[in-house]
Amino acid sequence: MDNPKIIFKNQHRENTLCALNGGQELSPCTIVIFGASGDLTARKLIPALFNLYKNDRLPEPLTIIGAARTEMTRQEFANRLKESMAPAQIDLKRWDEFCQNLYYQEVDYDSPHSFTVLADFLTDLDTQRKTKGNRIFYLAIPPSLYPTVADHIGQAGLANEGVQGKQWSRIVVEKPFGRDLKTAIELDTVLHKSFKEEQIYRIDHYLAKETIQNILMFRFANYIFEPLWNRNFIDYIGIIAAEKLGIEHRAGYYEQAGVLRDMFQNHMKQLLALTAMEAPSLFQDARVQDEKTKVFRSLKPLTEGNLFKDLILGQYSSGTIDRHKVPAYRNEPGVNASSATPTFALMRLFIDNWRWKHVPFYLVSGKRLREKITRIVVQFKKVPHSMFRHVLGEDISANRLIIGIYPHEKISLTFQTKTPGARLCLQPATMDFTYQSLGPGATPDAYEKVLLDCIQGDHMLFWRQDGVELTWAFLTPILEECESCRDLAGQLHPYPAGSWGPKTAMKWLKPIIS
C-alpha cells in the first residue's frame, strides 16, 4: 500500500518575502547569438526570449542579432524561427512585434574581417536603437568553435567595456567546458585573452530550475533541517537524473562525451554541491560559489583504489520504451558498432570533510531508463534504539526526505505514524509540498532565467572557472582510467533500454528510485 499523503497547501502567501532588488531595471542591450541557424537557437533561445518579451520581462530596447554562416535575409531568419516554434507558442501579433527587434548577420567564423563587419553593424544598430553599446555574445555553436569565435570577438574590440559598468560586454558559453582538465584550462585561457572572469557566463541549465534553486532556500532559510544535515543523522544521499530519451540526433557529440562528461561533470556536480555545501555568509554570488568550490575541493578521489568498486558503467542494448521498440546504443545512427561509450553511470563518492566523512553520495544518471526522474534523496539513519522491537521487530524504516525535480517538483518527508485502530501498527506517512500548490507561472523556463540573469549581470546560476577546474580535476583521472582500461568491455554492463540500468547497480539504485 502507498504511504498516506499529507498535502501541504500554500497558506501563507501574506508572509511572502521578496528580494529588495527584484524590480531592478534592466539595461538596454544587444544579444548576438552565434549559431543562429542551429537547433539550440530555434528550440530554446528564441522561444525563451519571445516568452520573456510577451511577459514584458525584457529590457527596452533590446536587439537580437542572429549570426551564422548560412546566407539568409532578416526575413528568412524570422520565418525559419517561426516555423520551428510550436503553434501554441506563437501569438502572431506579438510575434510580428517581437521580430522588429530581430536581425540577422552572416558571419564567417574563421574570418577576422567578418567580425569587423559585425562590429560596424553593431555600432550602427546601437545608434539607431539606443542600446548603449551593451552586448551579450551567446555561443550556441559547437564547442570546437569557441576558441576561434571568442578570439575574433576580442580582436574586433567587441569585448571592451566602458568604465564603471557603463557599456558592458558579456560572453555566454554552453557546456562542455573542455573535455578534460587540460582542455578546460586551454578554453579558459582563450576566453580570458579577451574577457575578464566577470564577463564570462558558463551555463548549466540545471541551476536555473526552480526546484534546484530552492535547495539553498530550503536548507538555509529553515532552522529545523540543518542540524540534521550531516554524518550523524544521514545514512546516505542519492542524486539521480534518469532519462527515458536516448541520444536523439547527437551521436557525434555523445560518442565523444558519454554520460560522465555529459551529465556528471556539470549537472550532477552542481546538485551535489548544493546538497553538501556549507551555508554561505550571504546569498551573494561569490560567496555561494566559494562554498561550492570547497565541496569540489573535498571530493575524495575515486582512483586511489579500485575504481570500479565505486563506479558502475553501463550501455543500453535494445529494449522497449513506452511500448515502442528502441535500438541498442550501438545501433543508433552515427554510433560506432563496437562503441565503448557509457550511457549509464552510478558513482559512489565521498566528501572528505567534517560534515560528510563516511557518508556515501550515490550519483546516478543514464539514458533510455525506465522513467525520467530527477531527484535528491536524503536518507536519514534508523532510530538508534527501537522501543517497539519486542512487538514490531527492529526494522523500522528510517526518515527520508526527497527533493523532487522531475516529474514532480516537490519536497516530501516520510516518517512513521501509528495506524489507527486497536492493534499496534506503524506505518510510514509522507508529507508532500508541491510547487504546483504555489499557483501557475511559478516555474519559468530555465533558459528564460539564465538569459535574464545574464542581462542583469548576476553570476549566481553560472559556473565559475575554479569550480570547472576542480570538477575536471576529479573526473579526468577517472576518464583516463576508464578510457585506457583494457577491460573496459568487461566493465561496461549492458542493460536493456526501458530498464533501470545494469543489474549490478541495483543494490545501490533500488533504494533511490523506490
Instruction: Give catalytic residue positions.
Output: 267
CB 474 → ligand BG6: shortest distance, Å? 19
Choose the stretch contacting ligand BG6; rule: CB under 6 A; options: 7-15, 237-245, 297-305, 421-429.
Answer: 237-245
DSSP assignment of 222-274 = -SSSGGGSSTTTEEEEEEEEE-S---TT-HHHHHHHHHIIIIIIIIIHHHHHH
Dihedral sign from CA coordinates of 492, 493, 495, 499: negative
| 126 in contact with ligand BG6 (CB under 6 A) | no
Choose the stretch contacting ligand BG6; rule: CB under 6 A; options: 17-25, 141-149, 239-247, 418-426.
Answer: 239-247
Choose the stretch contacting ligand BG6; rule: CB under 6 A; options: 41-49, 146-154, 238-246, 278-286.
Answer: 238-246
At position 192, the amino acid (one-letter code) is H
Our CB check for ligand BG6 shows the closer of 250 and 355 to be 250
At position 98, the amino acid (one-letter code) is F
Residues contacting residue 269 through CB under 8 Å, at least 6 positions apart: 296, 467, 471
Block residue for cell numbers 560506432: 336
CB 110 → ligand BG6: shortest distance, Å? 26
Our CB check for ligand BG6 shows the closer of 99 and 450 to be 450
Q: Could you give the dihedral angle defined by the CA atoms of residues 281, 285, 288 and 289, in that order, rounded to the nearest 10 degrees?
A: -140
CB 245 → ligand BG6: shortest distance, Å? 6
Q: Distance (Å, rounded) from C-alpha 50 to C-alpha 327? A: 36
Choose the stretch contacting ligand BG6; rule: CB under 6 A; options: 224-232, 241-249, 289-297, 495-503.
Answer: 241-249
Q: Distance (Å, rounded) from C-alpha 18 to C-alpha 91? A: 31
Q: Distance (Å, rounded) from C-alpha 369 to C-alpha 308? A: 21
Helix (H, G, I), strand (E, B) or coil at 25: coil
| 448 in contact with ligand BG6 (CB under 6 A) | no
At position 40, the amino acid (one-letter code) is L
CB 467 → ligand BG6: shortest distance, Å? 16
CB 347 → ligand BG6: shortest distance, Å? 17
Our CB check for ligand BG6 shows the closer of 68 and 242 to be 242
Q: Distance (Å, rounded) from C-alpha 138 to C-alpha 32? A: 6
Residues contacting residue 76 through CB under 8 Å, at least 6 positions apart: 104
CB 147 → ligand BG6: shortest distance, Å? 21
CB 177 → ligand BG6: shortest distance, Å? 12
Helix (H), strand (E) at residue 26:
none
In the region spanning residues 247 to 276, those forming contacts with ligand BG6, defined by CB under 6 A, are 262
Our CB check for ligand BG6 shows the closer of 95 and 362 to be 362
Residues contacting residue 505 through CB under 8 Å, at least 6 positions apart: 312, 314, 344, 346, 364, 493
The reply to whether omega before 176 is within 30° of 0 (cis) is yes
Q: What is the 3-state secondary structure (H, E, C) of 341-391?
A: CCCEEEEEECECCCCCCCCCEEEEEECCECCCEEEEEEEECCCCCCCCHHH
CA-to-CA dists, residue 22 to 168, 296, 456, angstroms = 21, 31, 11
**Interface pick for ligand BG6 out of 374, 379, 471, 499 (rule CB under 6 A):** 374
CB atoms within 10 A of CB 373: 20
Q: Distance (Å, rounded) from C-alpha 287 to C-alpha 280? A: 6
Our CB check for ligand BG6 shows the closer of 256 and 284 to be 256
CB 190 within 8 A of CB 153: no
Number of residues that bind ligand BG6 (CB under 6 A): 5
Our CB check for ligand BG6 shows the closer of 161 and 332 to be 332
Q: Distance (Å, rounded) from C-alpha 400 to C-alpha 415? A: 7
Our CB check for ligand BG6 shows the closer of 243 and 310 to be 243
Our CB check for ligand BG6 shows the closer of 259 and 505 to be 259
CB 495 → ligand BG6: shortest distance, Å? 17
CB 262 → ligand BG6: shortest distance, Å? 5
Site string for ligand BG6, 324-363 (x = CB under 6 A): ----------------------------------------
Our CB check for ligand BG6 shows the closer of 245 and 424 to be 245
| 243 in contact with ligand BG6 (CB under 6 A) | yes
Q: Distance (Å, rounded) from C-alpha 317 to C-alpha 201? A: 37
Our CB check for ligand BG6 shows the closer of 4 and 334 to be 334
CB 330 within 8 A of CB 316: no
* Closest residue to bound ligand BG6 by CB: 262
Choose the stretch contacting ligand BG6; rule: CB under 6 A; options: 212-220, 240-248, 277-285, 330-338.
Answer: 240-248
CB 154 → ligand BG6: shortest distance, Å? 27
* Interface ranges with ligand BG6 (CB under 6 A): 241, 243, 245, 262, 374
